[in-house]
Amino acid sequence: MVAFPSKEYKTVPNTLVIQSHRSPLPYSWLSDCLESVRCWCMSNDFRYRFLGDELFDQVPADLLEKLAHQKVIAADLARLKVLQEALHDGFETAVWLDADFLIFDPDRFVLAEGPYAVGREAWVQHDRQGKLKVYKKVRNAFLMFRQGNGFLDFYIETAERLLRRNTGGMPPQFIGPKFLTALHNTCQLPVMEWAGALSPLVIKDVIQAGGEALRLFVEHSPAPIGGANLCMSSCDREAVSGAEMGQLVGLLTRRAAIRPETSAVS
């Protein structure tokens, strides 16, 4: 049983929410995602900050050079550095949300209690035998850190050390979901279960108002989600079309995708 924060905990004073993306936005539906986060911030009296390429300003020069052709990895480190800076600047809570994160149920999307939290991933895809399988991990599309947390400094120091010592190839999720999931499997990181992620198969099932991928997603999601990382890379590799993603955003924003009693999405 996942315990949701009390309503009294909903408005966290002195909170900064940070997002970033290059300009111009590559897909029109991203504007709706960004607007959903800005509206959520306004309703909770949170500060909001949007960054462009200045996101990378605090990445050490040697690592920025090493990661010149792997900007996804550089961005995974950069988000940690700007969150750390926010806490050093005196914010009580610092939150990161990817630009392709849609908050479609703001009443449910309440910041978790505790010193820090990461997001959930219940990724549904076909395995090598063609059967649907759920890969349950954690994700850095949502990150939250509060003053006095004991994890962020460790995460940054370890990520920088791994990046400097690595002399071979690095997958895009090297210090992001792969590293966080390895840690989670060992020590059970705090997870904000209602901050999810949708795979292409789940997205298509939401649009179609049902399907086996969506059923598995619901079954393996510990709590109904109030927001989701829509994974822009699904559009980049043409697993989901821009039109389908726009349709999904419209459905979720209206909360009319499927009935709440049958889905963790609505």
State the Cα–Cα distance between residues 49 and 45, nearest whole angstrom.
13
State the Cα–Cα distance between residues 99 and 240, nearest whole angstrom.
17
Q: What is the pLDDT of residue 112?
A: 95
pTM reported for the whole predicted model: 0.92
- One digit per residue, the tens of pLDDT, for the chain of length 266 reads 455 454 444 445 699 999 999 999 999 999 999 999 999 999 999 999 999 999 999 999 999 999 999 999 999 999 999 999 999 999 999 999 999 999 999 999 999 999 999 999 999 999 999 999 999 999 999 999 999 999 999 999 999 999 999 998 999 999 999 999 999 999 999 999 999 999 999 999 999 989 999 999 999 999 999 999 999 999 999 999 999 999 999 999 887 444 434 444 54
Domains along the chain with CATH numbers: 13-262 (3.90.550.10)
With the C-alpha atoms ordered 226, 195, 153, 73, is the resulting torsion angle positive or negative? negative
Q: What is the pLDDT of residue 255?
A: 72
